[in-house]
Amino acid sequence: MTEFGTGDFLDHYRFISNKLKKRFLRKPNVTEACEEFSSLGQKCESLNLQPQAGLCWLASARCEGSLNNVPGEAGCLLRAGRQFLSAENKLKELGCVNLGREHLQAAISCYSHSCSRYSDQSPLPTGLWLELGAAMENNISVACAEQLYTQAATTGPLINDTRIRIACLQRVTTCKIKQGDFTGALSVLSDIAVLLETVAPPLVELYTDIRYDCEILRILLLLILKPTPQRVAPTLAKLLEKYTWGNCNDKSIEEIGIGEELFILLQSLVMACQASDTQALPLLEADLRPYLNIEQQSLLRTLVKMNC
């Protein structure tokens, strides 16, 4: 830590903190301390000392808060959260024992506090929850990511934006599928389907890819869950009937871009599952894979393994 010029990190941190202590007939210079904490934080970042950088940005945020600089406080909290998140990721990459997960808890706290500093009408918290959720999903905890995506989908002014809300719910669905919560995933997809029905006709084409994805995922999840007729919702029962007795000229199928060949393959898959035709399923899997994304392919693999 000789790069700091005044000893190790803790000495430097304490030196700045002492400037905030009240003294007789002398007010603490909060602005100066804030600038020095920020400078120390930047120095720690350049040296890849993420936990120390996080502490500095937290201290800077407290200074900004005492100065009633709300945007500055929120920005410093976010920067602290990102540093703690980087520290958590580094521990995971190194394979270190991390029972307490202090860095993760600190990151979530910083993001949460930063979001609370914005007004209820600000769209920024939604973006921050999505940012933190993506980091969690990719490297740390899918369960935590699901909670954060759910929060993004249910709070803030952007919940009235259909496309944003659907995007958040799609991420919730992915997290539930990754955790094997197929019932929960199907429930969220049903919510997405309801939202899609509210889209005004001039905008329907903008949601074609989402409707396509939602339709196929719901079919695969229904085939995996095998709900009894008494326990399946009418809308889901109607969906299965479409691929049991319907035809490729069905208007609802044409609208989401399912061509004749894919329709026939999905129809064959539904009928093979209903008939417990274990020989047909692996062949249908091979034919269907080119039409499916990675998530759908994974569900199809699960379905075939369960029935063969």
Per-residue pLDDT of 264-295, as tens digits, reads 999 999 999 988 888 999 999 999 999 999 99
pLDDT band at 4 (very low <50, low <70, confident <90, very high): low
Largest Cα–Cα separation, the chain: 88
At 215-243, the pLDDT tens digits run: 999 999 999 999 887 788 888 988 888 88
* More confident: 155 or 7: 155
Tokens of 159: 């919940």
pLDDT of residue 24: 66
At 85-114, the pLDDT tens digits run: 999 888 887 877 666 688 889 999 999 999
Residue corresponding to tokens 């009937």: 241
pLDDT of residue 97: 65
pLDDT band at 6 (very low <50, low <70, confident <90, very high): very low
Q: What integer is the mean pLDDT of 61-73?
A: 94
Secondary structure tally for the chain: helices H, strands E: 15, 0
H or E segment at 270? helix 260-274
pLDDT of residue 106: 93
SS3 129: helix
pLDDT of residue 290: 95
SS3 26: strand
Judge whether residue 185 has pLDDT over 90. yes
Residues whose CB falls within 8 Å of the CB of residue 172, separated by 6 or more in sequence, listed in order: 146, 149, 150, 153, 188
In one-letter notation, the amino acid at residue 288 is: L
Residue corresponding to tokens 């998530």: 295
Say what the pTM is: 0.86
Domain range annotation of the chain = 1-114, 208-308
pLDDT band at 28 (very low <50, low <70, confident <90, very high): confident
Tokens of 300: 């199809």
Q: How many CB atoms lie within 10 A of CB 13?
A: 19
pLDDT of residue 205: 83
Q: How many CB atoms lie within 10 A of CB 110?
A: 25
pLDDT of residue 1: 42
* More confident: 243 or 298: 298
Judge whether residue 78 has pLDDT over 80. yes
